[in-house]
Each structure stands twice: as C-alpha cells, then as structure tokens.
Chains A and B, each alone.
Chain A
C-alpha cells in the first residue's frame, strides 16, 4: 500500500477514535486538569514547528529562500486579520514572482 494511503487510513482511524473517546471511554468524567493543560498546547507547538520547517528547511538544511518572502507576505495578511486563504494566496504569489525573476 502506498505511503499516502497508509497515512490517510491510520490518521483517519485515529482521528475517529480521538473524537469518539469522549463519549465512549470517559463518559462524563473529564481529563485531569494538568493533562488538559498539556493537550491545549499541542496545536500551537506543532503548528509553529510546521511553519518554520515548511518555510525554512530544505531536506536537512536551514535555508532562507523565496519561501521566506512568501511567509512574510502571509504574516502581513495575518497581522491585519485577513482571511487565511488570502494569506496563502499572498505567499504563493510572492514566492512564484521571486522564482520567476
């Protein structure tokens, strides 16, 4: 089975289980507060890591290339609370333009 399908199936199953876990496993009890505190921080940590690795990494090198300019454009859109798709569009346009030069 291809890499893509392995990832899709596993992530799909795990996501379904995660969402089902509330009603099925714990009923009306809640996670301990400290664990909730940690889980709350998962998304910010992982998303930030994804931002930097997708914008500044090329295989095993840290590089600053046209993607960095694209990220800056996206940052400007996000800073003025523009829609996230506009941020993505801005990034794509800036990066593509720089590459075309």
Chain B
C-alpha cells in the first residue's frame, strides 16, 4: 500500500542497533536492576520515536482508507466487506482494484487475480525483512503482516537489513489508521447517492495513476507500465472486463531479459 506523501528519509536519525549497554556497578543483592530498567526505558523511547515518525503516515492512511471506504461502498461492496478487506488485505492498490473491477462488471476471478498480482510485490519484501523478525514461524508470519510499502521503507537500513521495532510500530500505526479510516469512509459513504453524478468513478483511475507514479522507479518499471497499458487497451474489445488487466501482467516478463535486477 502506498499512502503517498513525503518520501521516507533513509538516513533519518534514531534508527540503528540497540542502544549501547550502560554499565552500573552490581547491587549487593546480585541483580542488576538499574541497567535492566535503563534498557527497557531506552526501548520504550525508541518505540515512541518510531510511532511519532509514523504519525504523518497514519494520518495519510486514515484519509486514504476513508476514500477506499467511500468508493467501495458506492461501488456496491456494502458496509462490512470493505472494513474486513482493509483488516486482512492491508493494501490500497489491491483493495481499490477489487472495488473498481467489480463495479465495472468484471468477474470475481478477474478481481481476485488483479488484487493478488498487485500484492505480489509483498512476497519479496516479506522475504527481505524476514530475517529481522523474531520468534517461531507463526509469530514471524504474524509480524510480517505489518509489512507495507511505508513500514518497509522506514525500517530499511539501506544495506538489506531491517529494523524490527520500526517495522512493527510503523506497521501497527498505519494499520490502525487504514482500518479506522475505512470504517469512517464506509459510514459516510452510504450517505452519498449516485456515485457517477459525483464523478466518483473517475476517482479510481486517478488514484491508480497516482499509485502508478510512485511505482515508476526505474526504466524497466516505466517500460512495463507502458507495455501493460497498451496490452490492456488492445484487449478491451476482445475480452470481458477484468481480463485485459490480468493479461497485461505479461508485460512484467520483460524483467526476465536481464540477468540481475533491472536498472
């Protein structure tokens, strides 16, 4: 999910390894209470700092989530489904894809496949951040649910490693904003009336365009986008709604022509 707004500053202070251990002389009872409290205090302070850094993203997530709630409701998804979706899928692009494809008369299968493909990038992101997570497989799988574009980017140290506290705190803050915003949007959206009168059907391609702009980070990405757009348009007269979008993913196969990562 790309919430938009400021690019996270990869060099921002406050991230890095655990706070340096503070030495204290051992108390008479043999237990080192002071340094334990210091470490706990430092952890809390780091968590609070991470939460503060994530706040602007949470606000953006809240308004973006509200827009999803409004659009999904007026696209016929009802009031409960959008909130459940935000709570489980936690991905703006995929969620909007489902809402817009169903609203345009596409099949459930097409909506599902498009959403899954859009969330496909979280696979490699999950792999990259997995070594930083803690606990057994189940717990790490749970922690990995908080991986979205912003939490991943903020937690990245730039050398391929990730800082778990930042990832989890940012993810949690974003999650709360996203689901809460969706709930607000759903409640407000029911009062809107005919979406086409308000031009709301035009909001979907606009949002996808804005999301697309954030994903064009390389020439390969630009080529894939142009090729995908051309393929999809070409297929519109030939296939039911939704299918052109799926077929357009063939454009990403240009990523196979290179040996390493695209430029």
> CA–CA, A16 to B200, complex, Å?
29
Cross-chain contact B130 with A14 (CB below 8 angstroms): no
How far apart are A7's CB and chain B's nearest CB, in angstroms?
A: 5
Main secondary structure of the interface of B (DSSP, over half): helix
Q: Enumerate chain A residues within 8 angstroms of B260, measured Cβ to Cβ.
A: 33, 37
Number of A-B residue pairs having CB atoms within 8 Å of each other in the complex: 334
- Which of the listed residues A22, A55, A91, A92 has the most CB atoms from chain B within 10 Å of its own CB? A22
Cross-chain contact B207 with A88 (CB below 8 angstroms): yes
A interface residues, how many (CB within 8 angstroms):
79
How far apart are A87's CB and chain B's nearest CB, in angstroms?
A: 5
Kindly identify which residue among B81, B126, B213, B248 contacts A49, using a CB–CB cutoff of 8 Å.
B248
Give B241's nearest chain A residue, CB to CB: A59
How far apart are A34's CB and chain B's nearest CB, in angstroms?
A: 6
With known contacts A8-B84, A19-B122, A42-B118, A88–B67 Cβ distance under 8 A: yes
| Interface size band for B | 35 or more
Contact with A along B223-263 (1 / 0, CB 8 A): 01111110111001111110011001101111110111110
Query: B19: CB under 8 A from chain A?
Result: no
> CA–CA, A61 to B203, complex, Å?
20
A residues at B contact (CB < 8 Å) = 3-8, 10-16, 18-24, 26-31, 33-34, 36-57, 59-62, 66-67, 70-71, 73-75, 77-78, 83-85, 87-97, 99-100
A to B CB contacts below 8 Å, 26 in the list: A4-B77, A8-B89, A15-B88, A18-B116, A18-B119, A19-B123, A19-B126, A22-B144, A23-B126, A23-B130, A23-B133, A26-B127, A42-B117, A43-B120, A45-B249, A46-B97, A46-B245, A48-B229, A49-B244, A50-B97, A57-B233, A71-B202, A75-B209, A84-B207, A87-B207, A95-B201
